[in-house]
Structure 1
Amino acid sequence: MATHRIASLTGWLRGEFGRLKLRQLRAVAAALIVAVAGLFGGLDTVNTGPTVFAADEPHSDGQFTLTIARAAVVDELRAGRRVVARAEPGRRYLGVVTTVRNDGTIPGRLLGELQLRDHPDSTPVGVFRMNDGSPATSLGPGLREQLVFVWRVPDGEFQTGTEVTLRVARKRFTELLVTYGKNWVDSPTDYAEITLPVTVK
């Protein structure tokens, strides 16, 4: 009985499609594709590029909320009278002042949180607390700190008014494949960018 019904339905569809013109067939095919895609969660959206945010505008990457204030280049890094990083011939220091809040439920790693774009001769120095210059490698859940992210850059790479672009990867909390437990993992394709003017001191 069921076989007879399927055969009847197939015959009816064949007859209906036979009466349709080419333009109508295309419309039907497009409708079928959309309907099938809807069953499996919809069609993929086209990546239109990075999210762009501005200075003093809070941006969430999923784990952290960052508010980036300014960028400056200096000869050496100081915290009061203490020298955090000494001057080196042919090199200077680019610092990006950022307020970071950990919105997650586990401590978050700060190293690599900001990525410097288009400066292949730069090297990361570290992340330091603004209030005392001490190194900050992680930030606990619910905590908020004003930090400076620092890179060593070639002397003359930046002049006052030169712009610098920084990238922040989107994160997701996921099960780790190699070790046990869950952690925040950077997306390789989903990210945000901010472009800042640089002050040279």
Structure 2
Amino acid sequence: MGGTETRGPIRRWFAGLGFSQMGQLLTVAILAATALFGGLDTVSTTVTSFKPGDQFSDGPFTVTVDRASFPREIRAGTWLVAPKAEGVRYLAVVATLHNDGTVPASVDDELDLRDEPNKRFFGVFRIADGSRITRIGPGLSEEVATLWTLPEDALRDGDSVTLRVWKKEFHELMVTYGQTWLDSLTEYGQVSVPVKVAP
């Protein structure tokens, strides 16, 4: 009886997870298994440096990081995308993403902002109209701004931010969850982008 009662809530918990959460859970499980066999210390990491304006392919996307700014608020025409907030600004990194694959791919974790411990992910938005975007379909391109909030004094005009774009591998998940792209544990592209601080 006890085993059946325990399995019920566990199944419901797994059923409530989305693709992104399942991917993160699988990554954690892989890291835990790796730790049992000595950790990642002996695993060689492959880093591909690229510059703003260069194309970098991570598997699902060809990524071109263009520019970065640090405004107090963000508008698209008359549409208020990100309102002013006390003590913070928005780091906005503009990039073009082209889906090279045959399935839709998530954009929320596409750019990994490094060395900013107080960052908070705000979302990814289309440059064209300021609408929120979470996935891009196969064969499609979008110019997007990925936003994080940071303390208002975190960056000065001319500072640079470092972004990683993790290589991804296509995996079959459990039958219920289908297929998805998962971040590599050892391969990524890295780009340093100068920041323009808006008044």
Instruction: Select which of 92, 97, 112 maps to 1:95.
Output: 92
Kindly indicate whether residue 159 of structure 2 is the aligned counterpart of residue 167 of structure 1. no
Q: Which runs of 5+ in 2 are unaligned?
A: 1-41
Aligned residue identity for 1:118: D
Partner of 1:73: 70
Partner of 1:185: 182
Once residues 78 and 64 of structure 1 are traced to their aligned partners in structure 2, the CA distance between those partners, rounded to angstroms, is 26
Partner of 1:133: 130
Once residues 87 and 70 of structure 1 are traced to their aligned partners in structure 2, the CA distance between those partners, rounded to angstroms, is 21
Once the two structures are TM-superposed, the CA of residue 182 in structure 1 deviates from its matched residue by 2.1
User: Any residues of structure 2 matched to 1:142-153 within 5 Å, and which?
Assistant: 142-153=139-150
Once residues 133 and 58 of structure 2 are traced to their aligned partners in structure 1, the CA distance between those partners, rounded to angstroms, is 19
Kindly indicate whether residue 36 of structure 2 is the aligned counterpart of residue 54 of structure 1. no
Name which one, 1 or 2, has greater alpha-carbon Rg.
Answer: 1
Once residues 178 and 193 of structure 1 are traced to their aligned partners in structure 2, the CA distance between those partners, rounded to angstroms, is 34
Native 8 Å contact 2:46 2:186 kept in 1: no
| 3-state SS, counterpart of residue 194 of structure 1 | strand
Once residues 102 and 117 of structure 2 are traced to their aligned partners in structure 1, the CA distance between those partners, rounded to angstroms, is 34
Structure 1 segments of 4 or more deviating over 4 A? 177-180
Length, aligned pairs only = 157
Once residues 171 and 49 of structure 1 are traced to their aligned partners in structure 2, the CA distance between those partners, rounded to angstroms, is 13
| 3-state SS, counterpart of residue 74 of structure 1 | coil
Aligned residue identity for 2:65: I
Once residues 185 and 110 of structure 2 are traced to their aligned partners in structure 1, the CA distance between those partners, rounded to angstroms, is 13
Kindly indicate whether residue 173 of structure 2 is the aligned counterpart of residue 176 of structure 1. yes
**Higher RCO (CA 8 Å, separation ≥ 6 residues):** 2
**Cα RMSD over matched residues?**
1.6
Partner of 1:83: 80
Give the share of equivalent positions with the same residue, in percent. 47
Aligned residue identity for 1:165: T
- From the superposition, tell whether residues 48 and 172 of structure 1 become closer, same or farther in structure 2 (CA, over 3 Å): closer
TM-score, L = length of structure 2: 0.75
Aligned residue identity for 1:88: A
